[in-house]
Amino acid sequence: MKRPSNIYFKVVDGEGSSLEEVGFTFSLPKGPLNGAWHEFSPEAPCLLYKNPLPFYEQGMRIYVAGFDPGDITTIWKGIVWVRRLRLIREATSLDLRPFGIHRAIAQNI
């Protein structure tokens, strides 16, 4: 199975707190339900990345983000800033393998 090329990721802690958006907590997906939509101002949009490895720290969780292309404010070297997004699901080992991140946990998809 091949990983889709249009996936963007968000790294958060176990409670959904972001490293980049200080003081902000994302609604996490639960089972088949996506997380809630979150809106950001155009002056301070949310950061998403194609390669989560530079942003990953031990104990953090990586999620696949969903957003409308019309909500992108800036694109730069595999990073996008968006005004509106939600977390769709936790990234799988297949999603993360190209970046050298290997998950050794049970995953509910």
pLDDT at residue 104 in the model:
62
pLDDT at residue 1 in the model:
45
Quote the Cα angle for 73-78-82, to 5°: 25
pLDDT in tens, the chain (109 residues): 444 568 999 999 989 998 888 788 999 999 889 999 999 988 889 999 999 998 888 888 999 999 999 999 999 998 999 999 999 999 988 888 888 887 665 555 5
Cα torsion angle, 106, 95, 10, 87, sign: negative
Euclidean distance between CA atoms 54 and 26, whole angstroms? 20
- Encoding tokens for residue 28? 């996490």
The answer for residues whose C-beta is within 8 angstroms of residue 86's C-beta and 6 or more apart is 27, 34, 35, 36, 37, 38, 65, 66, 67
